[in-house]
Amino acid sequence: MANCSFPPGGLSVEWIEGRPVVTGRAELLALRVASRLSTLRPMGSYRITLQGGAPTTLRVETLEGSLQLTGTGQWVGPRLRFRGEASAAPDREAALSNLLNIIGRRSGARSLISIG
């Protein structure tokens, strides 16, 4: 289940010279997320925030759950650069180990996520 909110002023995206120009703010709540890559259901609930400006930023954070996600990114020209990490709650490491191997580069119990 997902819920998206647009505060007063909303979110506006324009394409200027082939690049997105974002103003405003939007928040997406991804609740009780599950994946075919894990037997654990649900894995957790997450907030994804997009904040327009120069640069436009993206933030991911865990609201609750066994799969802990955090990260920040920004658009540089037409590309997203994102850095984050994923980890499992201590009692769920075995159930999420394969997923953590897939979504990023492992560093001990953490999976480091790097896009762009």
Work out the mean pLDDT of the chain and round it to a whole number.
89
Q: Would you kindly state where each structural domain of the chain is located, as residue ranges?
A: 2-115
Query: Percent helix, strand, coil in the chain (nearest 5)?
Result: 10, 60, 25
Question: Is residue 87 within 8 Å of residue 103, measured between CB atoms?
Answer: no
For residues 89 and 11, which has the higher predicted lDDT (pLDDT)?
89
Name the pTM for this structure: 0.84
Q: How far apart are CA 55 and CA 39, in angstroms?
A: 38
68-104 pLDDT, tens digit per residue, is: 999 999 988 778 899 999 999 999 999 999 999 999 9
Question: Does 30 or 14 have the greater pLDDT score?
Answer: 30
- Three-state DSSP at 38 gives coil
Q: Is 17 exposed, middle or buried (0-12, 13-18, 19+ CB in 10 A)?
A: exposed
